[in-house]
Amino acid sequence: MNGRRFRFGAALAATVLLAAACGGAGDEAGSGGGEAGAPASSAGFDGTTIRLGVLSPLSGPIAVIGQPLTEGNKVWFDHLNSQGGVAGKYKVELVQEDTQYQPDVTVQQYNKVKNDVVAFTQILGTAPTLAVLPLLKSDKMVAAPASLDAFWVREQNLLPVGAPYQIQAINAMDHYLGEGGGSPRSRICTMIQDDVYGEAGQQGIDFAAERMGFTVASTQKFKVGTENYSGQIGALAGAGCEMVFLTATPTDAGKIWGTAAQARFAPQWYAQSPSYVGALAQSAVAPYMRQYVTIASEGTEWGDDSVPGMRDMIERVEKYAPQQQPDYYFAFGYNQARAMTALLEKAVERGDLSREGILQASQELGTVSFDGLTGDYTYGPADKRNPPRSTTLFRVDPGKPFGLATLKYNFSSDAAQAFEFTKANP
Amino acid sequence: MTAFLQNCFAGLSLGSTYALVALGFVVIYKSTGVINFAQGGLLALGAYLGYTFSNNLAVAFGVAVLLCCVSAALVGATFERIVLRRMVGQPPFAVIMITIGLLFVLEPLVTAIWGFEHKQVNNPWNIRTVEAGGLVFGVRDLWTIGLTAAVVLAFFLFFRYSSLGLAMRVTAFDPEAALAQGISARRVYATSWAIAAALAALAGILMAAGPGGLTPSIGFIALAAFPAMILGGMDSPAGAVLGGLVIGLAEALARGYQDELFSWAGDNVSVIVPYLLMILILLIRPYGLLGTKEVRRV
């Protein structure tokens, strides 16, 4: 009898507490002005600490990208936590899992941690992101992809940052035709990796060709890890290419430029940001790159304290990760974390840090500024989103940190403004 | 004509690298009947050892090449001594699985020691070129072809005239007869692994000295060299060299004439050419170009 009375009392107390908790959030949310009450505990949020997932290749060949990217995530959140955390009161904790850049492993790791986190602040790579996208949708989870593919823009469950690859290609062409000495009659060519990343670059060039009135004289495709590029370089030289737009990763780009230098083939090269890595500026190919290569990317050169975002980031790197070397991917991870913070702040403002609440907050998130580190991104409903259309062009300068010096900072062409983004599978 | 010759030169250089790797495959297969799937891992290890000698220890590049080959040979022989010797008499399948295991051990070992970063090996070749007869020759490519030729020659001399080479040939031909003649199979197996690892290391450091530099994925070329071994004949060192050169030339020429001749077949015909050739040769000669036809008593 006593036991039954105790169980009844406990159930009543629990009901009252639950009602009080729900009412607190709901009442304050109803008070208007976007000032909701404290968010209720939910998966990945215990009332004081927000846990975010990081699915990144921390081992394997792509760890060279995953490690600095994750370090960028960490430095931002270390800084944020030192200020009190999200909305000044909720500390952030990262839950890292190694994906080895394998889509199947990414799915396993996602399932392993999805109930311990409110969202994923990093999923690295196009294929891994595509693999978990259906799960993100069914779980109502938000994730920030570490990839500049254009079709993330129209996915509500994704929180991309930066101008997509197509924009880099379009702005590069605008520069070549405007200030780079080219004209629509120039022999313009492309050399692209034979995958979805390469297709993104080619799509940008094809769009630019239509808008700017040039034709692509020759397109050379290659498989990642090709050992000898003499055939492709010979074909580009044979086609009389005066300008070549390159979509590659650094190891292949080094071989391509090395082969071009050996063949005395000297067009003007414009390359997509992932083609470059700081080590190339210290390699034997550097003199050739210095003369003929322009890198299309975003933000400013490492250490440029005239850009507020870079100045702040360098200060925080010195404080939280002094061993960190200048790295493009680090800055990308840092920006991803900033975007996720803006989203979480919006969710806290709405008084709901549950998955559904964060997904809803992503519909209401406005323009997020990155203080010049990358272009401002207008979020909101996926079909209304407007990613940055800006690009910074860099020339290779081995004397600079990361080997890049700004050639033209943060510009956007009319063609880039006109580019329409679509979903991966419309 | 200039373009054709230039493509042929590129093919010879690429084929030389394939030949070195394929030769390593064949040396082990011929003496032990095992396909060594760790050849790519040994190639990466050799390249990184070369990087350490050349960059960290500031040894002259030529000496670094020699030292990385010797070091890799020691690793190969040690692995045979510690692990594979216990597998003598076991089914080849079990030994093959061990070589796959070694590959999976070597990959993280390399990245644990040297990291994932892109590295540039200090070397005198880089992207230097020489010109002759209107053709441009990469100095690294010339050295690759020359060193491969020298190694192959030394290899054949060793097999033909040295007592150890003779012992290896006898063991490969008939292990039991070799044992009856007092030939140490253990010594032969260890030597095979040492030679294969040294060949892989040489291929690795030659590749790393090029403009692409050095990354952990350098060992992937072993997959491309695999068809060369099959095409030449799995038990034929001469076939491995021939297969490597044929595959390299076919790949370079297919790439060079992609736009004119193969545009109807897609953008990357050169990638599948080695495998198409391998299938074609195997259909005509199931034991490869120079492989030994197996004779069975019924």
- Contacting B residues, span 67-96, partner chain A, CB-CB under 8 Å: none
Question: In the 8-state DSSP scheme, what is residue A350?
Answer: T
> Is B186 at the interface with chain A, CB within 8 A?
no
Of A209-218, A316-325, A328-337, B90-99, the range with the lowest mean pLDDT is B90-99
Q: What CATH number corresponds to the domain at position B266? A: 1.10.3470
Question: Which has more confidence, A401 or A10?
Answer: A401
Place of tokens 């009252």: A16
Instruction: Tell me: pLDDT of A2 over 50.
Output: no
How far is residue A130's CA from residue A122's CA, in Å, rounded to a whole number? 13
Instruction: Tell me: pLDDT of A378 over 90.
Output: yes
Instruction: Give the 3-state secondary structure of residue A339.
Output: helix
pLDDT of amino acid A13: 42
Instruction: Tell me: pLDDT of A35 over 70.
Output: no
Residue contact B118–A280, C-beta within 8 A: yes
How far is residue B215's CA from residue B217's CA, in Å, rounded to a whole number? 5
Question: Which has more confidence, A38 or A386?
Answer: A386
The amino acid sitting at A273 is S
| A197-255 residue pLDDT tens | 899 999 999 999 999 999 999 999 988 878 788 888 988 998 999 999 999 988 889 98
How far is residue A128's CA from residue B194's CA, in Å, rounded to a whole number? 40
Interface size between A and B, measured as CB pairs under 8 A: 120
Residue contact A61–B116, C-beta within 8 A: yes
State the best of A58, A59, A227, A323 to mutate against chain B, taking most chain B CBs within 10 Å.
Answer: A227
Report the length, in residues, of chain B: 298
How far is residue B86's CA from residue B103's CA, in Å, rounded to a whole number? 19
Instruction: Give the 3-state secondary structure of residue A404.
Output: strand
> Within a domain: residue B298?
no
Of A30-34, A166-170, B12-16, B93-97, the range with the lowest mean pLDDT is A30-34
Place of tokens 């200060």: A315
pLDDT of amino acid A36: 61
How far is residue A254's CA from residue A234's CA, in Å, rounded to a whole number? 16
Q: What is the mean pLDDT of residues A57-77?
A: 88
> Within a domain: residue B296?
no
Instruction: Give kind and range of the element (H or E) at residue A14.
Output: helix A2-30
pLDDT averaged over chain A? Answer: 88
Domain that residue B266 falls in? 2-127+135-284
State the best of A262, A285, A291 to mutate against chain B, taking most chain B CBs within 10 Å.
Answer: A262
Q: For each of the domains in chain A, give its residue range(s) and CATH number, in order of start.
A: 49-163+303-387 (3.40.50.2300), 165-297+393-418 (3.40.50.2300)
- Contacting B residues, span 38-67, partner chain A, CB-CB under 8 Å: none
> Within a domain: residue B295?
no
> Within a domain: residue B257?
yes
Instruction: Tell me: pLDDT of A256 over 60.
Output: yes
pLDDT of amino acid B107: 85
Ranges of chain B with pLDDT below 50 = none
Instruction: Tell me: pLDDT of A17 over 90.
Output: no
pLDDT of amino acid B6: 87
C-alpha closest to that of A291 among A273, A266, A274, A256: A266
Quick one: pLDDT band at residue A168, thresholds 50, 70, 90?
very high
> Is A57 at the interface with chain B, CB within 8 A?
no
Which residues in chain B have Cβ-Cβ distances shorter than 8 Å to A232? Answer: 255
Query: How many C-beta neighbours within 10 Å does residue A82 have?
Result: 12
Residue contact B258–A235, C-beta within 8 A: yes
Which residues in chain B have Cβ-Cβ distances shorter than 8 Å to A285? Answer: 126-127, 211
> Within a domain: residue B46?
yes
- Contacting B residues, span 98-117, partner chain A, CB-CB under 8 Å: 108, 111, 115-117
Quick one: pLDDT band at residue A424, thresholds 50, 70, 90?
low
- Look up residue B172 and give its two tokens: 């490969």
Instruction: Tell me: pLDDT of A23 over 80.
Output: no
- Kindly state the percentage of chain A with pLDDT values over 90: 72
Instruction: Tell me: pLDDT of A296 over 90.
Output: yes
The count of domains in chain B is: 1
> Within a domain: residue B147?
yes
- In chain B, whose CA is at the least distance from the CA of A325? B117
Residue B57: C-alpha distances to residues A44, A279, B140 (Å): 49, 20, 22
How far is residue A420's CA from residue A350's CA, in Å, rounded to a whole number? 31
Quick one: pLDDT band at residue A309, thresholds 50, 70, 90?
very high
Q: What is the mean pLDDT of residues A122-151?
A: 93
Residue contact B254–A231, C-beta within 8 A: yes
How far is residue A378's CA from residue A358's CA, in Å, rounded to a whole number? 17
- In chain A, whose CA is at the least distance from the CA of B135? A263
How far is residue A420's CA from residue A416's CA, in Å, rounded to a whole number? 9
- Look up residue B154 and give its two tokens: 């030394």
Of A24-38, A260-274, B208-222, the range with the lowest mean pLDDT is A24-38
pLDDT of amino acid A16: 39
| B166-214 residue pLDDT tens | 888 888 777 778 878 888 888 888 999 999 999 999 999 999 998 778 8
ipTM, two decimals, is 0.76
> Within a domain: residue B290?
no
